[in-house]
Amino acid sequence: MALGVAMEREIRQQPQILSANAPAYFDQLSAFFRERRDFDMVLLAARGSSDNAALYARYLIEIHLGIPVSLAAPSVITRYHSNMRYRNCLAIGISQSGAAPDVAEVLSYMQEQGHTTLAITNTPDSRLTTVATETLLLNSEKEESVAATKTYTSTLLALYQLVRAMGGSLIEPVLPDEAWVDASSETAAEFSGPINRSNPVFSLARGYGFCTALETALKLMECALVPCKAYSAADFEHGPKALAGHGSAAISYFGSLPGLRDQGCEILEVEHPLDTTPELEPLFPIWDIIVGQWLALHVARSRGLDPDKARHLSKVTKTL
């Protein structure tokens, strides 16, 4: 029986889904933020892959809007019942299923405090939609595989369009095409051997791309059972690099890392498909993660694992 059929199908659907939804995301968010741009801070609430997307939003918002961003720790509200004093805040809850109770609780709390709230989800009439001022539906069609692929890149695109809609200095999105999806699969297939024979495995990036390092590590762990640790390439210098010797590998979204190569670490460098002009760099995560998705799928298949039925995991995870 073929393994990861749904995951592969959903990886391949991304170019069509992203190009179809980009204008609608921008139009809806532009209308919503037309009278709502003067925020003192932004609070982002999410879990799992959505949390990695939220980190991408943090870089976009702080760089292009100059608004301080905080990533919510939901248990501060759900478990410890703290009365947080936010001021003039935009609260964004991200959950592909819309069923994450802790994310919904954060948005509900912020709504009760009189703040502007936005839900980003792929599921109409889900719990998250009932507690937000506005809901942006990803319209990515149902995702069958346990691994988030098309919903993840759709979330990245929605957050990119959100910052544009709020007045950020970002160009109209340049999006992955089918040729890039095929090329990414070939790159990932080449990387799968080194990943299988290496221990430890790291995933490294900085800035906009840090979310990609985190999401790649998550995909390798949940789909292929590869213990992979993601780091900022800067933080990696503060201790973890001591582990990067012979027999280790690093997936790098931050160049060739010659210093690590000299230590004996095998560097698997993901080459950006777009040129490196500053205007295009914020879009790299939407392209680069497709390599990470394929890598998790190829390694899973080589190990006889089915990422559509990831071990000990379910599609919807509920935590408080």
Of 165, 194, 220, the residue at which a domain comes to its end is 165
Residue 130 resides in a domain: yes
Residue 316 resides in a domain: no
Q: Are 214 and 145 within one domain? A: no
| Number of domains the chain contains | 2
Model confidence, pTM: 0.95
- Domain limits for position 299: 178-309
Residues whose CB falls within 8 Å of the CB of residue 14, separated by 6 or more in sequence, listed in order: 149, 150, 153, 176, 181, 290
How far is 216 from 311, CA to CA, in rounded Å? 18
Q: Are 19 and 156 within one domain? A: yes
> What is the pLDDT confidence band of residue 259, given thresholds at 50, 70 and 90?
confident
pLDDT tens figures, 62-95: 999 999 999 998 889 888 888 888 999 999 999 9
Residue 247 resides in a domain: yes
Q: Are 231 and 105 within one domain? A: no
Of 144, 165, 186, the residue at which a domain comes to its end is 165
Q: Are 127 and 228 within one domain? A: no
Per-position b or e across 224-261, b if 16+ CB within 10 A of its CB: bebebbbbbbeebeeeebeebeeebbbbbbbeebeebe
Q: Are 124 and 55 within one domain? A: yes
| Placement of tokens 């029986």 in the chain | 1
Q: Are 185 and 154 within one domain? A: no
pLDDT tens figures, 83-134: 888 999 999 999 988 878 899 999 999 999 999 999 999 999 999 999 999 9
Phi-psi region at 260: left, alpha or beta (left = phi > 0; alpha = psi -120 to 50) = alpha
DSSP annotation of 38 reads -
Q: Are 124 and 209 within one domain? A: no
Q: Are 85 and 136 within one domain? A: yes
Residue 253 resides in a domain: yes
Residue 266 resides in a domain: yes
Does residue 162 sit in helix, strand or coil?
helix
CATH of the domain at 227: 3.40.50.10490
pLDDT tens figures, 26-42: 999 999 999 887 899 99
Q: Are 116 and 93 within one domain? A: yes
Q: Are 98 and 186 within one domain? A: no
Q: Are 150 and 184 within one domain? A: no
| Placement of tokens 């937000």 in the chain | 132
Higher pLDDT, residue 35 or 178: 178
pLDDT at 66: 97
Q: Once rounded to an integer, what is the mean pLDDT over residues 148-177?
A: 97
pLDDT at 148: 94
Residue 219 resides in a domain: yes
Residue 171 resides in a domain: no
Residue 28 resides in a domain: yes
Q: What is the CA radius of gyration of the chain?
A: 19
Q: Are 193 and 154 within one domain? A: no
Beta strands in the chain (DSSP E): 41-46, 69-71, 89-94, 116-121, 134-137, 201-205, 228-232, 249-252, 266-269
Q: Once rounded to an integer, what is the mean pLDDT over residues 209-223?
A: 97
Of 165, 197, 220, the residue at which a domain comes to its end is 165
> What is the pLDDT confidence band of residue 266, given thresholds at 50, 70 and 90?
very high
